[in-house]
Amino acid sequence: MPRLFFALWPDGPAREVLACHATRVARLARGRPVPAAKLHLTLVFLGAVDRERLGAVRRAADAVQGARFAMTVDCVGGFRGAGVGWAGCRVPPAGLLALQSSLQSALAAERFAPEARPYAPHLTLARRISLPVADEAIAPVSWEARAFALVASSPAGGGYATLAEWPLGERKS
């Protein structure tokens, strides 16, 4: 059974810069860099979901109405307990927090339990790190979040497949 999550995918130029950071962080922390094609920002992690519940997942996403927003990543750090190095934003954009909250609420209405831990927006850059990654500022890496996606990950092969995407509306001024 695939594990499902909702995510934002960086655009091509942002992905290239983030991949360079992934290589650097993995080297410094003696970990494995996440391949560029897998770099994403998770909005909500659902885990293993029965196929019969896929309709409820899609209904929840259909109910979300968010606006496009500028996503900017400006720091790196590590979650030592999880063994990962990450890139994140010192001040998450309001559009990101609104989208994540709206999606979480829509999923709760479809009887999906929210994660117990608070939302910490980040992109995983390196896995299986051996050394801590000090929090540090990086040159801002930006892209416009135009859509969010439902993604399936395969535990066996570690691949990701985008199952569906939902466009975000025009940016509010």
Q: Does the model's pTM come out above 0.85?
A: yes
Do residues 129 and 30 make contact, with C-beta atoms less than 8 angstroms apart?
yes
- Which CATH code of 2.60.34.30, 3.30.1330.60, 3.40.630.30, 3.90.1140.10 fits the domain covering 3-167? 3.90.1140.10
Angle, CA 44 vertex, CA 42 and CA 50 arms, to 5° = 120
Say which residue the tokens 């066996």 belong to.
156
Q: How confident is the model at residue 157 (pLDDT cuts 50, 70, 90)?
A: low
- Section 43-53 average pLDDT: 94
The predicted-structure confidence for 110-144, as pLDDT tens digits, reads as follows: 999 988 889 999 999 999 999 999 999 999 999 99
β-strand pairing of 147-153 with 32-33: unpaired
In 3-state terms the chain splits into helix, strand, coil percentages (rounded to 5) of: 30, 40, 35
Domain locations in the chain as residue ranges? 3-167
Q: Which residues are known to be catalytic? A: 40, 122
